Amino acid sequence: MDYNAYVQQIATMAVVPTTDVNFQIILPQAINYAELRIQRDLDFLSTQTSNTSYSLTASNNTLTIPTSSFVTLQTMALSYDSNTYPLVPVTKEYIQNVFGGSSYTGRPVVFAVFGGDAPTAGLTSQKIIVGPYPDQGYSVVLTGTIRAASLSSTNTSTFISVYLPDLMIMASMIYIAAYQRNFGRLNDDPQMAQTYESQYQALKAGALIEESRKKFEAAAWTSYSPAPVASPTRG
């Protein structure tokens, strides 16, 4: 499904012309609602990425990165001496208690996410602390998830629109139902939002299994579909 097909289908289901000014105004937010909800619900394998542009400096246990780098940080490793050394995620309290001072330095072995900048600065960065304090500079390899590019008139197809068009349509129509004030029991069509929500939940269940299979997180940590006759599962 490309952008034009999406617009036409949403307009048809919402019973409004695609040229309607109010429809054109609300459409970007319907797309935004649908895409953000789907990405939060499914945690796509395709949105996982790595970044090697950061480094630690000697005697400084804090690494600051832009909040735009990752939605969720997953792993951290050091690239040193032609090897990669994964760090273990721990709580900041553990690092503060075990590696609370800079008197002991060495190659960091643990890390923790430690908040961000001041709210007045616009929350543009987040901090990572490591332990022990680095004894020298280290190149860092970070992995995590990012937001996928959004569907628009200039970006006419996305991962969601191509591979999950049914889910995107249902999520969008939940938002459209709110726009048309059909979101509660006292409105013209009280079942509209609930119907789209139930369809979204049904479609999401299948998509969630598929994403788990891609990451070898399905039954018995395999990439196979759950087998109803194989009970108990292996592993």
Whether residue 141 is found in the same domain as residue 77: yes
Q: pLDDT tens digits for 62-81? A: 999 998 889 999 999 999 88
Structural domain span for residue 71: 47-145
Whether residue 136 is found in the same domain as residue 67: yes
Q: pLDDT tens digits for 142-194? A: 999 999 999 999 999 999 999 999 999 999 998 988 777 655 554 455 555 57
Whether residue 87 is found in the same domain as residue 65: yes
Q: pLDDT tens digits for 18-63? A: 998 989 999 999 999 999 999 999 989 999 999 999 999 999 999 9
Identify the pLDDT of residue 38.
96
Return the structure tokens found at 140: 């860092």
Identify the pLDDT of residue 186.
47
14 occurs within a structural domain: yes
Domain boundary among the residues 86, 118, 145 is at 145
Q: Which of 98, 95, 101, 138 is nearest to 113 (CA)?
A: 95
Whether residue 131 is found in the same domain as residue 58: yes
Q: How far apart are CA 160 and CA 87, in angstroms?
A: 33
Domain boundary among the residues 122, 145, 168 is at 145
234 occurs within a structural domain: no
Domain count, the chain: 2
Q: How far apart are CA 148 and CA 43, in angstroms?
A: 11
Whether residue 12 is found in the same domain as residue 40: yes
Measure the N-to-C terminal CA separation of the chain; round to a whole number of Å: 39
Whether residue 57 is found in the same domain as residue 136: yes
Give the three-state DSSP class for 72.
Answer: strand
Whether residue 36 is found in the same domain as residue 69: no
Identify the pLDDT of residue 116.
72
Whether residue 36 is found in the same domain as residue 73: no
230 occurs within a structural domain: no
68 occurs within a structural domain: yes
231 occurs within a structural domain: no
pLDDT category, 100, cuts 50, 70, 90? confident
235 occurs within a structural domain: no
Please tell me the pTM assigned to this model: 0.80
3-class secondary structure per residue, 136-158: CCEEEEEEEECCCCCCCCCCCCC
Give the three-state DSSP class for 231.
Answer: coil
Whether residue 92 is found in the same domain as residue 207: no
Whether residue 40 is found in the same domain as residue 155: yes
Phi, psi of 185 (to 5 degrees): -70, -15
Domain boundary among the residues 104, 119, 145 is at 145
Whether residue 132 is found in the same domain as residue 180: no
Identify the pLDDT of residue 234.
57
Whether residue 119 is found in the same domain as residue 198: no
226 occurs within a structural domain: no
Q: How far apart are CA 13 and CA 94, in angstroms?
A: 54
Give the three-state DSSP class for 232.
Answer: coil
